[in-house]
Amino acid sequence: MSTVLVTGGSGFIAGHCILQLLDAGHEVRTTVRNLAREPEVRAALKAGGAEPGARLSFFAADLTSDKGWTEAAKGCDYALHVASPFPPGVPKDENELIVPARDGALRLLRAARDAGVKRVVLTSSFAAIGYGHGVRKKPFDETDWTDLDGDDITPYTKSKTIAERAAWDFIAREGNGLELAVVNPVGVLGPVLGPDYSTSIQIVKGLMDGAMPGSPKLGFGLVDVRDVADLHLRAMTDPAANGERFLAISGDFVWMRDVARLLKERMGKAAGKVPTRQLPNWLVFIAALRMPEVKLLLPELGKEKHATGEKAMRVLGWSPRSWEQSAVDTAESLARLDG
């Protein structure tokens, strides 16, 4: 079996990647900004059913520093670069996101190239594909790139777009044989392993907690974290994945109100606080004044963006579960975590 480096081991997607790599028999290394987080990460993996023991090792490395990356990559066959800053709100300076996202990707790629790693799988985002285009009915696919001159660009979408473009440019100019594949997930749901989970999970948590009196007119593509991890592993070893991007989406566009109605229907008493009425946009703008995670979503109010995961299914044999199953599993895992 191979030795695989997974960056950002305390993160939601990275945790599920580690679980599946261990289950497949690989040796796994992971980076964290502070080694004091190792017990927490191991506890989360144990909650996910893993007993990694010595097959999992930890290295201290930060996206904003050169220190630690050479040691982490040495002796690895593959690397999954999952670590990337995702803000709880809109930062005052966009470079707080852009610089670590771009420079962190380049640090990992240089270390991987110099260590003789065969292939890096970069976790990008739909944020690098489907923004800045205005209204369109045609589904987005891997040939699309976010237009940074568009009117709905946030620091986060800019950071993911710039980081992914920088990665492809690095491979073209100085990759020296290093292979690259990219996974572009939409909103990621699925079972949480601990308190450190994605901003997308906050949507379900907010509904379950009754944090808002209704559903904003927000929509998104959804995909399960277990399927995102599975796509990373497929992209890591399949020869057909080299040099390719893969959109990770289950089904198509979903309105937040549909998620609320599903939870109300399937979660019984646990969904007692879930609101199913539609909130007017003006009320959402008021809520954003005290909820930074809501402010992040304001540019998307009322917008409908379709996308397709057909390429990943056709090229890599990927088969994601339904968004409905993912949403229910998310809610159930949050209930267990809170209980």
Active-site amino acid positions: 160
Please name the amino acid found at residue 116. G
Burial letters 204-221, b for 16+ CB under 10 A, else e: bbbbbeeebebbbbbbbb
Measured over the CA atoms of residue 107, residue 125, residue 199 and residue 280, the dihedral's sign is positive
Contact between 309 and 320 under an 8 Å Cβ cutoff? The reply is yes
- Give DSSP secondary structure letters for 26-73: -EEEEEES-GGGHHHHHHHHHHTT---GGGEEEEE--TT-STTHHHHH
Whole-angstrom Cα Rg for the chain: 19
- DSSP character for 269? G
Instruction: Match 């630690």 to its residue by tokens.
Output: 68
Contact between 107 and 33 under an 8 Å Cβ cutoff? The reply is no
Query: Taking the CB of residue 23, how many other CB atoms lie within 10 A of it?
Result: 12
Distance CA 180, CA 178 (A): 7
3-state secondary structure of 247: strand
Measured over all CA atoms, what is the biggest interatomic distance in the chain, rounded to whole angstroms?
57
Distance CA 154, CA 62 (A): 23
Distance CA 118, CA 139 (A): 33
Q: Report how far Cα 124 is from the mean position of its chain's Cα atoms.
A: 7
